[in-house]
Chain A
Amino acid sequence: METDINVNEMGQVKIAPEVISLIASMAVSEVQGVADLTAGFTGDMLEKVGVKSPGKGIKVQLGENEVLIDVYLIVEYGAVIPELAKEVQRKVKLSVETMTGINVTQVNVHIQGVNFQKDVKDEDKLKK
């Protein structure tokens, strides 16, 4: 299902949910402290066989001229989660609204896990 964002004498502009999830995904990746977006079981299986999903970890629910976005992510160890979530919400809302003109009603952030790998690497470097 696509959403109409502008209807005028020239015609309609329709935006697919995949575009919104891609914009949101790019906005999330800019936030410091986000390790990765989670694709879920099916998405992970597809990724393993080489099928790339650009909007993984983003669920878009389109209304008439509004959108609700769910973001599923893994955070880096040490990040202050509420601050990170606020930044994710702010960036996603700003990016989607600026680029598409669709009103973002809610950005729900789901923290699915914590990534310790970076922390372990830093400790290893210090030991060396």
Chain B
Amino acid sequence: MNSLNKFVLFFYLVVISILAFIIGLMPLNIISNDFIISFVKDTTKNLYATIFAFIVLAINLIIMLNLFKKENFKLGVSRYTSEGELIISNEAIKSLISKSLSDIKGLKEFKVFLKPNKDKLSVLIKAIVFPDYNIPNLVFQVQTATKTYLESIAEIPVAEVKVVVDEIASNTKLRME
């Protein structure tokens, strides 16, 4: 979902939330019935209401069309063979990396980011590690596992594997009482 679609969805949700809030207040008599009746009467004569309704309808259509829009299947690494093209999606590459890292002890959580360069792939791994592990060793293991696995299983040339240790997971949780 691109930023325009996100903005449209956000705007739409704001409108729906306001309407839901107003409807929720109506039975509680916080908003008087007279006010609602006069508001509806005014709205029927107001051209702005029509414009507003059409804007909401347009947003609805955009959201619905986006739901059924074909995903960008080209997003990923592609290479040409004599029989045609082979495209490996970013999601598939991320799954492969996650699996290759799952056996490494010392990693608590990690997120994988991919940046395809001209002919090689750059990988960024943001990780949370357990304490008592040597971080340079751990990072080296992560880099080796990622590079070796991708190059052997998917034959994707890896330019670099950057590892960012975001946080150290604590073994104990302190409680303040």
A and B bind:
yes
- From known contacts A41-B68, A41-B71, A110-B73, infer whether A85 and B86 are also in contact, taking CB-CB under 8 Å: yes
In chain A, what residue has the closest Cβ to B69?
A: A41
A35 to chain B, nearest CB (A): 11
A97: shortest Cβ distance to chain B, in Å?
12
Most A CB within 10 A of own CB, among B84, B152, B155: B84
Contact between A80 and B153 (Cβ–Cβ < 8 Å)? yes
Question: Is B44 positioned at the interface, with any CB of A under 8 Å from its CB?
Answer: no
A81 touches B154 (CB 8 A): yes
Determine if B177 is an interface residue (Cβ-Cβ < 8 Å). no
A79 CA to B149 CA, complexed, in Å: 12
Verify A93–B83 contact, CB threshold 8 A.
Answer: yes
- CB <8 Å contact, A116 and B99: yes
Given A109-B85, A112-B73, A81:B155 Cβ within 8 A: yes
- Is A86 on the interface with B (CB-CB < 8 A)? yes
Which residue of chain B lies nearest to A112 when distances are taken between CB atoms in the complex? B89
A82: contacting residue among B68, B70, B91, B155, CB under 8 A? B155
Contact of A106 among B67, B73, B79, B83 (CB under 8 A): B83
Could you say which interface size class chain B belongs to? 20 to 34
Kindly state the interface size class of chain A when it binds its partner.
20 to 34
Bound-state CA distance A72–B87 (Å) is 9
B95 touches A114 (CB 8 A): yes
Q: Give the CA-CA distance A66 to B161 in the complex, in Å.
A: 42
Which residue of chain A has its CB nearest to the CB of B102?
A116
Contacts of A111 on B, CB cut-off 8 Å?
Answer: 76, 86-89, 92
**B81 and A114 form a contact (CB under 8 A):** no
Q: How far is the CB of B45 from the nearest CB of chain A, in Å? A: 42
A109 with B87: CB separation less than 8 A: yes
Whether B84 contacts A109 by the Cβ 8 Å rule is yes
> Which residues of chain A have C-beta atoms less than 8 A from B99's C-beta?
77, 114, 116
B81/A113 in contact, CB under 8 A: no
CB distance from A107 to the nearest CB of B (A): 4
Chain A residues in 8 Å Cβ range of B85: 106, 108-109
Residues of chain B with a CB closer than 8 A to A106's CB = 83-85
CB of B56 within 8 Å of the partner chain: no
A86 / chain B contacts, CB cutoff of 8 Å = 81, 83
Q: Kindly list chain A residues whose C-beta atoms are within 8 Å of the C-beta of B83.
A: 86, 89-90, 93, 106-107
User: Chain B residues with Cβ under 8 A from A81's Cβ?
Assistant: 86, 88, 153-155
Q: Given A86-B83, A107-B83, 15 other A-B contacts at CB below 8 A?
A: A40-B71, A81-B153, A85-B81, A89-B84, A93-B83, A109-B87, A110-B73, A111-B87, A111-B88, A111-B89, A112-B73, A112-B92, A113-B92, A113-B95, A114-B92
Q: Which residues of A contact B (CB under 8 A)?
A: 40-42, 69-70, 72, 74-75, 77-82, 85-86, 89-90, 93, 106-114, 116
6 contacts between A and B (CB under 8 A): A75-B92, A81-B88, A85-B86, A111-B76, A111-B89, A116-B99
